[in-house]
Amino acid sequence: MNRPTQVDVAQRAGVSRATVSYVLNGLTAGRVPISDETRQRVLEAIEALGYEPDARAQALRSGSTNTIGLIIPDLNNPHFCEYASGVEDAARTAGYHILLSSTSLNEKNAVNIFKDLARRRFDGLIITNSLILESVEAQATLEQIRKRGLPVVEVGDCYGVDAIFADYRQVTKEVVAYLLSLGHRRLGFVYGVGSHELGLDRLEPFQEQLAAAAACEPELIVECGPTMEEGYRAARQLLASPNRPTAILVINDLLAISAMRAAADLGLRVPADLSVVGYDDIPIASFLVPRLTSVSKDAYSSGRKSFEILQARMDNPDLPRQVLRLPAKLIVRESTGPAPA
């Protein structure tokens, strides 16, 4: 059986094809003189025939696809999945679909995905990974997107588009002050990032705060890649040293879990022998043994707000640039405690 068309709907309802089109496109509310009785007949015919509008044809007629692009760094990290869920829920409520891509923490993938997405039809784009835009090629692609008049929201504040971000600088100072207040003087940092610049809002205030307290030891900062395995190896290297730290900050919660595993494998107890602090407050953080002390910026709410910023731009392209700075807070749980004697 052939797929029903607007002509079939029109014949069943006893109206013209144009009338069916007006009903489908919501043009009957005072904009086109069609009676409620006629509109109801069209809707009943659509229901009876199981007619489904062609999304591509509708997009060409209206200029809108009701689709937004979303690029995240890593589907394996629950933090970004929470963020994507927030975007998706807000978008679905507004009648939009999401075209989701993950760069898998790979710079070449990031640029290729960005270029491929830029060729597609969509109404707006949310980028959560500044790694994408570090190359000249990617920045040229961004400029092409902007020339097309397509709204872009960046999670960060680097490229002059609408932006949403949580700066961890102040809260990292609070984390260091908290650990110092517990008597810790040897603080380490597991800095697992895809690109060195991606976590400077945590590394720099960590160094500054410890320098102010005359407690900064550069050898206790270990930089590694962004995977859990790399985080485990870096933490094990740090904790196996003769003058190991009594507390460590870890760039995110996933790597903090790796660090806790490394500590256990070395016979260290958390927090009796080692305090551990992560970032992002992923859902599992409060279910670990011990529960993980973490810094939260509420990824789900951030996702919803990102879409709201994008929607505001889609509805009104002439808005002034929108920049929303989100609060971040320290959530103290069981993985931190007084420094060992």
Q: Cβ atoms within 10 A of the Cβ of 242, count?
A: 4
pLDDT at 302: 94
Contact 114, 150 (CB under 8 A): no
The superfamily (CATH) of domain 6-53 is: lambda repressor-like DNA-binding domains (1.10.260.40)
Helices (H), the chain: 6-13, 17-24, 36-49, 55-62, 78-93, 107-118, 136-147, 169-181, 200-212, 228-239, 253-265, 299-315
Give the number of other Cβ atoms within 10 Å of residue 200's Cβ: 14
Mean pLDDT (whole number) for 219-235: 95
CATH 1.10.260.40 residue ranges in the chain? 6-53
Q: Looking at domain 65-166+299-326, which of 3.40.50.2300, 3.40.50.740, 3.40.50.2020, 3.40.50.300 is its CATH number?
A: 3.40.50.2300
Is the CB of residue 64 less than 8 Å from the CB of residue 124? no
Mean pLDDT of 20-28: 71
Cβ neighbours around 280 below 10 Å, total:
25
pLDDT in tens, 118-152: 777 788 999 886 656 666 777 777 777 777 788 99
Kindly report, residue by residue over 6-21, the tens digit of the pLDDT. 888 899 999 988 888 7
The tokens describing 52, both together, are 């489904």
User: For residue 275, what pLDDT is reported?
Assistant: 98
Region of poorest pLDDT, from 93-102, 221-230, 250-259, 298-307? 93-102
Determine the topology of domain 169-296 in CATH.
Answer: Rossmann fold (3.40.50)
> What is the average per-residue pLDDT within 172-196?
94
pTM over 0.85: no
Could you give the residue range(s) of every CATH 3.40.50.2300 domain in the chain? Answer: 65-166+299-326, 169-296
Q: In the numeric block, which tokens belong to residue 252?
A: 């995110």
Quick one: pLDDT at residue 60?
46
